[in-house]
């Protein structure tokens, strides 16, 4: 009998240590080391000493058939996956507790099962009666979905191997699964890795598509070893705030499709509703006529999305002003503030700055620099921006407004929603396409935009605008603004 070897494995990143310690040196997390038996992932009785079998080698000139896709019946879900589920693929879906992962997968499996495909839903956290209760609330109790409440991977694989191969299998969740091949508690790094490997091997062998539901840590990362994310074919993140009805499905990794597409859903009493026009939904409750708000024309994948940026600049009595941002990169905000101070004379060192992306959407592209700067200056000088204008453009460290990609698509989406003006980079004027019908205000530098917004302001009782269009307001240079 092999001697048992114990080590301490980090439950967050999978790093192993010979002795216990409070902090993991690999990921920096505290109190995540747990004692596990690492003598071998497979018991000695199961190990085989047979010789390796030979297999045929193929050339690069051969023809490979395209991977057939299976539509889920939900347009937004198919958009994120790249057109549907690929046979034999494994997808990992993560999200905060209560965000709607089980609701989304219950709706997807029900729609797919109604088309005549065999669909299996394995729940390791809920009983069958609880899953039925959710389906009844969603009005999907008549869908021929096969349910089971099981956590043993060997039993699941043995059951699914009988009869026709399922087209789609949902495992909710992978952290609750366990296998006999390792001697660890369910949810540990070793168990999650071994269970995922067994399910992936079953998917590749039979051609069934498997969706694994994964828990997330406090910082939004999928719990368990990061090697699981490398093993699966696609990793999707279900995002959203619990206080808002919007939900965003975003592809983090996808071997069979793009990784920059998003799916937008709205949480209702009858489950998740697909949002075919996210711009109209994000702008449905705009603060019209309020200083500090600007509409940004962005691009998410191949889809243009218009969203409102809200800024608040308030004086502070603290030695270090506060910088808070929701839905945007904090480093990007710091860069825009530095450019405003260095090149535009806007002194913000004595003000707290708050920036929020309305609707719960997270923006990743630098094209939001111009909209964020316009909202910040508008709040500072108490100037109302035009309600029929959209903003987009990247700001360089020298204060120059740089062009961004897909300008015609941004303008077309803005015109479709009734906007009449667009503030964009000067060098992007020739890429507008000419069919948007918008009045274009092309700016070459951030100083020009700041002067135009300051001319609208009424801060500190100043009623006269600057003498020149491109002049920096005097109160900015004095540090009063």
pLDDT in tens, 363-393: 989 999 999 999 999 999 999 999 999 999 9
Q: Is 31 exposed, middle or buried (0-12, 13-18, 19+ CB in 10 A)?
A: exposed
Q: Is residue 436 part of a domain?
A: yes
pLDDT bin (cut points 50, 70, 90) of residue 477 is: very low
Domain presence at residue 449: yes
Higher pLDDT, 133 or 48: 133
- 160 and 301 share one domain: no
The pLDDT of 13-39, averaged and rounded, is 81
Looking at the 3D structure of the chain, how many domains does it have? 3
pLDDT band at 88 (very low <50, low <70, confident <90, very high): very high
Asked if residue 252 and residue 289 are part of one domain, the reply reads no
Residue-wise DSSP of 177-218: -B-TTS-S-TTSHHHHHHHHHHHHHHHHHH--EEEEEE-B-T
pLDDT number for residue 243? 65
Q: Among 210, 245, 276, identify where a domain stops.
A: 276
Residue 50 falls within a domain, yes or no?
no
Q: Do residues 151 and 267 both lie within one domain?
A: yes
Other Cβ atoms within 10 Å of 367 Cβ, number: 26
What is the rounded average pLDDT for all residues in the chain? Answer: 84
Residue 360, in any domain of the structure? yes
Co-location of 325 and 409 in the same domain: yes
Q: Give the pLDDT band (50/70/90) at residue 104.
A: very high
CA dist 384 and 457 (Å) reads 7
Let me know the angle formed at the C-alpha of 306 by 302 and 308, rounded to the nearest 5 degrees: 145
Domain boundary (276, 293, 328) is at 276
What CATH number has the domain bearing residue 251? 3.40.50.300
256 Cβ partners below 8 Å, 6+ apart? 67, 69, 81, 82, 86, 89, 233, 234
In the structure encoding, which two tokens stand for residue 329, read together?
Answer: 């990169």
Q: Give tens-digit pLDDT for 239-250.
A: 887 667 888 899
- Answer whether residue 43 shows pLDDT above 70: no
- pLDDT of residue 35 exceeding 70, the answer is yes
Q: Is 198 found in the same domain as 109?
A: yes
Residues 108 and 239 in one domain: yes
Angle of the 369-381 helix axis to the 330-344 helix axis, nearest 10: 60
Q: 393 and 297: one domain? A: yes
In angstroms, the CA 392 to CA 369 distance is 7
Mark whether 442 and 309 lie in a shared domain.
yes
**Model confidence at 30: pLDDT above 60:** yes
Determine the structural domain holding residue 339 and report its residue range.
281-458+466-478
Q: SS3 of 383, please?
A: coil
Q: Which of 276, 295, 327 is the last residue of a domain?
A: 276
Question: Domain for residue 56, yes or no?
Answer: no
* Cα(410)–Cα(392) distance, integer angstroms: 9
Q: What is the CATH number of the domain that holds 439?
A: 3.30.230.10
pLDDT computed for residue 479 by the predictor: 46
In a domain, residue 124? The reply is yes
User: What value, to the nearest 5°, has the Cα angle with vertex 32 and ends 30 and 38?
Assistant: 140
Residues 448 and 469 sit within 8 Å (Cβ to Cβ): yes
Instruction: Check whether residue 309 and residue 361 sit in a common domain.
Output: yes
324 & 389 share domain: yes
Would you say residue 249 lies in a domain? yes
For residue range 386-443, list pLDDT tens digits in order. 999 999 999 999 999 999 998 999 999 999 888 999 999 988 877 665 556 789 999 9
Please report whether residue 292 resides in a domain.
yes
Whether residue 117 sits in one domain with residue 200: yes
Q: Which has the higher per-residue pLDDT, 288 or 102?
A: 102
Task: Tell whether the model's pLDDT for residue 196 goes beyond 90.
Answer: yes
Who contacts 466 (Cβ-Cβ below 8 Å, separation ≥6)? Answer: 451, 454, 455, 472, 473, 474
212 and 304 inside one domain: no
């Amino acid at each position: 009998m092999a001697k048992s070897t114990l080590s301490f494995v980090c439950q967050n990143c999978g790093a192993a240590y010979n002795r216990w310690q409070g902090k993991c040196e690999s990921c920096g997390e505290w109190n995540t080391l747990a004692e596990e038996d690492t003598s071998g992932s497979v018991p000695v009785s199961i190990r085989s000493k047979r010789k390796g079998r030979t297999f045929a080698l193929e050339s690069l000139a051969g023809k490979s058939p395209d991977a057939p896709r299976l539509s889920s019946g939900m347009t937004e879900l198919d958009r994120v996956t790249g057109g549907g589920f690929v046979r034999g693929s494994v997808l990992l879906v993560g999200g905060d507790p209560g965000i709607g992962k089980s609701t989304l997968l219950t709706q997807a499996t029900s729609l797919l099962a109604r088309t005549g495909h065999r669909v299996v839903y394995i729940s390791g956290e809920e009983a069958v009666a609880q899953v039925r209760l959710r389906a009844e609330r969603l009005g999907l109790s008549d869908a021929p979905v096969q349910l089971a409440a099981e956590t043993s991977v060997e039993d699941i694989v043995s059951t699914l191997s009988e009869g026709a191969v399922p087209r789609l299998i949902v495992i909710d969740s992978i952290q609750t699964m366990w296998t006999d091949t390792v001697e660890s508690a369910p949810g540990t790094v070793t168990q999650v890795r071994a269970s995922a490997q067994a399910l992936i091997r079953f998917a590749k062998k039979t051609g069934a598509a498997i969706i694994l539901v994964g828990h997330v840590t406090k910082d939004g990362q999928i719990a368990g070893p990061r090697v699981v994310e490398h093993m699966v074919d696609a990793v999707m993140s279900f995002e959203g705030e619990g206080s808002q009805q919007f939900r965003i499905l975003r592809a983090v990794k996808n071997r069979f499709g793009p990784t920059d597409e998003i799916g937008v859903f709205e949480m209702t009493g009858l489950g998740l509703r697909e949002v075919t026009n996210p711009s109209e939904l994000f702008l449905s409750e705009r603060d019209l006529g309020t200083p500090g708000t600007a509409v940004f024309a962005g691009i998410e994948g191949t889809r243009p999305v218009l969203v409102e940026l809200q800024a608040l600049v308030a004086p502070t009595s603290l030695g270090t002003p506060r910088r808070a941002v929701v839905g945007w990169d904090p480093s990007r905000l710091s860069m825009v503030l530095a450019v405003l101070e260095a090149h535009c004379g806007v002194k913000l060192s004595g003000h707290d700055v708050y920036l929020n992306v309305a609707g719960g959407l997270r923006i990743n592209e630098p094209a939001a620099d111009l909209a964020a700067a316009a909202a910040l200056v508008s709040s500072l000088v108490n100037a109302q921006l035009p309600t029929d204008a959209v903003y987009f453009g990247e700001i360089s460290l020298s204060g120059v407004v740089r062009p961004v990609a897909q300008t015609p698509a941004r303008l077309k989406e803005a015109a479709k929603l009734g906007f009449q003006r667009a503030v964009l980079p000067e060098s992007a004027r020739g890429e507008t396409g000419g069919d948007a019908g918008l009045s274009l205000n092309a700016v070459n530098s951030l100083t020009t935009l700041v002067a135009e917004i300051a001319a609208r302001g009424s801060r500190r009782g100043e009623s006269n605008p600057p003498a020149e269009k491109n002049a920096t307001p005097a109160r900015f240079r004095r540090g009063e603004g």
